[in-house]
Amino acid sequence: MKVYHYDAFSEVPNMGNPAGVVLDADGLTTEEMQEVAQKVGFNETAFALTSDVADIQLRYFTPGHEMNLCGHGTMAAIGALIDRELLSKDAEIRVETKAGILTVKIAQDLVGRAMITMQQAAPIFEAFSGSTAALAEVIGLTEQDIDKTMPIVYGSTGIWTVIVPVKTLTAFQKMKPNNASFPEILTEKPRASIHPFCLETIDPAADMHGRHFSSPFSGTIEDPVTGTASGVMGAYFATYIKQGEADLMVEQGLEIGRDGRVIVHIRKQASEMKVAITGTAIFVKELEV
Residue pair 119/92 in contact by the 8 Å Cβ criterion:
no
Residue pair 172/211 in contact by the 8 Å Cβ criterion:
yes
The DSSP-derived string for 196-220 is EEES--SSTT-SEEE-EEPPGGGT-
Of 276, 173, 172, nearest in space to 227 by CA = 276
Which one-letter amino acid corresponds to residue 101?
I
Q: How far apart are CA 265 and CA 276, in angstroms?
A: 5
Beta bridge partners of 118: 104, 277
Residue pair 196/164 in contact by the 8 Å Cβ criterion:
yes
At 227 the three-state DSSP class reads: helix
Beta bridge partners of 209: 198, 251
Cα distances from 164 to residues 127, 153, 253, 285, in angstroms, run: 12, 7, 17, 35
Beta bridge partners of 117: 105, 278
Phi/psi zone of residue 200: left (φ > 0), alpha (ψ -120 to 50 degrees), beta? beta
Residue numbers annotated as active site: 44
What is the pairing mode between strands 100-108 and 66-67? unpaired
